[in-house]
Every structure is written in C-alpha cells, then in structure tokens.
Amino acid sequence: MEFRTFPTMSYLLPTYANFPLTAVRGEGARLWDSEGKSYLDFCAGIATCSIGHCHPALAKAISDQASTLMHCSNLYQVPQQKELARVLVEDFTQIPGKVFFANSGAEANDGMIKTARRFGHAKPNGKGEPRYEVITFNSSFHGRTLGSMAATAQKKVHQGFDPMLPGFRYVPLNDLDAIKAAISDITAGIMLEPIQGEGGVNSATAEFLQGVAELCDEHDLLLMLDEIQCGLGRTGTLMGWQSIYPDLKPDTISWAKGLGGGFPIGAFYVSDRAIDEDETPLSSLMNAGSHGSTYGGNPLACTAALVVLAEIQSSNLCANANHQEKRIREEVTSWNHPAIDSIRGKGLLLGFALNTDNLEYPDGAMPAGHLCKTLMAEGLLTVPAGPETLRWLPPLNVTDDEVGEALRILKNTLDSLSIKMNTAH
C-alpha cells in the first residue's frame, strides 16, 4: 500500500513517545524498516508476537478464516470461541472454569474486576454491604481503561486523570504484612502480575504467592492473576505463576498480548469453584447480560489464537524459553559487566537491572531508554521496563543463533556505553 506523504504524526494523538523506526515487514524474530535495515526483534510487540512475525501457519489460518467468516456477533454460536475456551481451560489452565473473550488486556482486566464486584455482591460483608475493593501492588501495570488504570499502582499512569475509579488499595509486592493490614470488610479480591512486566520485571516469590492464596482462603477473597504479559509460555511454563509456585489455584486470570501472536484478542477466565454451601460456581456470577463485547471472541481472532496455542504446545516453546533463559543468564553473568547489576525474571521475560553509575547516557535521558535507542541503532530491538531496567521479550521460538547475535550486540553496546570500561581502556 502506498501512503501519501503528509507529516506522519500530524493526525495522531501524541500519546506515545515512540522511536523513529517504521517497521514494514517481519519474519520470525526479524523485522525490517522502511529503509531496508534489518533488526533482531527482542521486543516482539512487547511480548505479543509470541510465535514470531508472520508465522506461516498463523498467516494462513487468518487468511483462510478472513475469506470464510470474520465476524458474526455473539448473538450466535461461535465454534472457534468454544474451542479456544476449551484449550485455555483444559490444556493451559487445567483448573475447571469458563472464559470470556475481549479484544485487549485492559478490557480483560476490566472484566476480571467486574467479576470481583459481582462476587462482593454475592458474598457481602457482615453488615450486608457489598464488598468491592481489590488490593493491587506498587509498580503494577494493568492497562489504560478507567478500571485497569485505577488498578495500576503507578502515579505516572494516573496523572491528570483523577478522580480514579474507587475500589483499589495499593501495597508493596512481596509484603504479606502489608496485605494483612490492607484487608478490610470491603475487600473482595487481590490482583497481581506473578511477574510484573512494565513495572521493572519484578517477580513475586513462591512464599508470597502461597501466603496470598492463604489470605484469600482465610478472608474469602478472589485470587486474581494478570497473566497478560507473563502467561502462555512466556516464563517457560504454560501459566506464569507455574514458574514460581505451581500449586496456586487462581480464581480469575486475564490474558491478551501473546494469546493472538499479534492479532488483537484478550480473555479472562473465571474458575468454577463453589463459593458457598449451595455449591454456586464462581463462574455462574457472570451470567447472561452481565458483560459483553461486540468484537470479543470473533471467529477471526479465535482462529488466530488457536494456532498460537497449538504452536506453543506442539513445538514445546516453554522448553525453548527455559533453554534460552539459561543460556542468556550464563553468558551475561560470565561477563561480570560493570553496567549490569542483576538479571530478573523467568524464561523469555527477562530484565537486566542496569548499574546506571557505570553507564553513559545524556543528561536528563532515561538510562534504559538510551540503551534501547543505542541497541536499536546496532540492529537489536528491546524495551525498557522502568528507567533502569532493559527488558528482553523475544518470540518464544527464538533460535540459538538469534540469541547469540543479540548477546553479541548487547555486550558490544554495553562496552561502548560503560564508564568503567571506557576509562580502563
């Protein structure tokens, strides 16, 4: 397609401070820009292109479905939606429950938050008042809608949008005492990313997840997981929490990003567990008329997601994520590099915590952003996670050679930006 050459940003709201790169083509972990320059893509749409760019099976399935039926409405039966829900519940979550399909992560989280409110109405407090408050964690990121933004415990996300939707309480991650102090007779749930992505690649500990589950049991609260960035193979297990504490039994889970491999789709799961002595399933609270989406779960999006999930399973991409993590950790650790303090995360959701005292970056610039920019010039796309963490999120089928090339580029770039290295030379 030819584009007329108006000034490119003129008609777009400037909500993204984006890089001057125009991507025109992708294949696997590789991306090409409009100048013909090739990049290794370790950003992958921020954990979205889970099976690589333009995977032939995904492209073909989308093309075939697009010429058969794209959309028909949830007023009718959608077999692709039923099958996708079955795969997510039986093969991936492996805990009985039901799924609702949306179009993005923020929407999926809104649905999950609505589920907590329904639960709080169904199980009111001792005074007969509905419970509605959800405890979330500092540095979390849950999205940009009014609900998911209020769930996000980051001031910079809220700035200028007050008043926030009421019903959220923020506490530090991995601090069970802070949760205990925050629980009150209006609390309905605890919502967290098992590994925070945007907030800096911060992992919950196994003890913490176990403690959260116990507090949810004790106080009759929903355990709500946002697996939008860390789920579906990204951390080397099918579910993100399984890479930390496999015994966890969440009540609700949200997915998006990697689920569609680049095709927009979001989803949330609600467990079938009984919430009372009458054996009322939690999932039954989201009954007819309680929620909806015009586009959510359309045949095209569900077909795409079915291919992605089949590929994650049949090509054992969890094993590849673990293999590549091990290799990356071993090699980066062996550098003992003055600009890297530690490596956080699991599988292919990895954060390199930068020692910014040993890194050169322009005054006023964000260190991780400057490093990303420099890596981009060298042909490696990455993404910051906060000001001092460099994040790698390559496709789950990234190869040994591609990881080797990315490691070479990272090492050379860090050497060139490292103060200690440069003064030692």
Residues lying near ligand PLP in the complex (CB under 6 A) are found at 46, 104-106, 109, 141-143, 193, 197-198, 226, 228-229, 256
Give least dist CB 198 to ligand PLP, A: 5
Give least dist CB 27 to ligand PLP, A: 24
Q: Distance between CA atoms of 84 and 44, rounded to whole angstroms?
A: 23
Q: Distance between CA atoms of 119 and 282, rounded to whole angstroms?
A: 7
Give least dist CB 226 to ligand PLP, A: 5
Instruction: Indicate the residue among 201 and 403 with the shorter CB distance to ligand PLP.
Output: 201
Instruction: Indicate the residue among 235 and 356 with the shorter CB distance to ligand PLP.
Output: 235
Q: What are phi and psi of 267, to 5 degrees?
A: -160, 150
Instruction: Indicate the residue among 309 and 340 with the shorter CB distance to ligand PLP.
Output: 309
Q: What three-state secondary structure class fits 30? A: strand
Q: What are phi and psi of 269, to 5 degrees?
A: -110, 140
Instruction: Indicate the residue among 244 and 359 with the shorter CB distance to ligand PLP.
Output: 244
Q: Distance between CA atoms of 198 and 211, rounded to whole angstroms?
A: 24
Q: Distance between CA atoms of 409 and 407, rounded to whole angstroms?
A: 5
Give least dist CB 46 to ligand PLP, A: 6
Give least dist CB 228 to ligand PLP, A: 4
Quickly list H helices, 142-205: 146-151, 155-158, 176-182
Pair 192, 198: CB distance under 8 Å: no
Give least dist CB 386 to ligand PLP, A: 13
Q: Distance between CA atoms of 332 and 315, rounded to whole angstroms?
A: 26
Instruction: Indicate the residue among 250 and 358 with the shorter CB distance to ligand PLP.
Output: 250
Instruction: Indicate the residue among 201 and 414 with the shorter CB distance to ligand PLP.
Output: 201
Q: Distance between CA atoms of 304 and 259, rounded to whole angstroms?
A: 9
Residue 18 sits at the vertex; the CA angle it makes with 13 and 20, to the nearest 5 degrees, is 115
User: Other CB atoms closer than 10 Å to residue 377's CB: what's the count?
Assistant: 9
Give least dist CB 253 to ligand PLP, A: 12
Instruction: Indicate the residue among 110 and 325 with the shorter CB distance to ligand PLP.
Output: 110
Helix (H) or strand (E) holding 106: helix 105-122
Instruction: Indicate the residue among 372 and 414 with the shorter CB distance to ligand PLP.
Output: 372
Q: Distance between CA atoms of 195 and 244, rounded to whole angstroms?
A: 9
Pair 233, 321: CB distance under 8 Å: yes
Instruction: Assess whether the previous peptide bond of 20 is cis (omega < 30° from 0).
Output: no
Quickly list H helices, 297-399: 299-314, 317-335, 367-377
Give least dist CB 256 to ligand PLP, A: 4
Count of CA atoms in the C-beta half-sphere (13 A) of 65? 23
Q: Which residue is nearest to ligand PLP (CB)?
A: 105
* Residue 14 tokens, joined: 């400037």
The whole-angstrom distance between residue 423's C-alpha and the CA centroid of its chain comes to 39
Instruction: Indicate the residue among 264 and 337 with the shorter CB distance to ligand PLP.
Output: 264
Instruction: Indicate the residue among 298 and 355 with the shorter CB distance to ligand PLP.
Output: 298
Give least dist CB 47 to ligand PLP, A: 7
Pair 245, 209: CB distance under 8 Å: yes
Give least dist CB 1 to ligand PLP, A: 25
Give least dist CB 72 to ligand PLP, A: 24
Residue 297's identity, in one-letter code, is: G
Instruction: Indicate the residue among 5 and 15 with the shorter CB distance to ligand PLP.
Output: 15
Pair 44, 28: CB distance under 8 Å: no
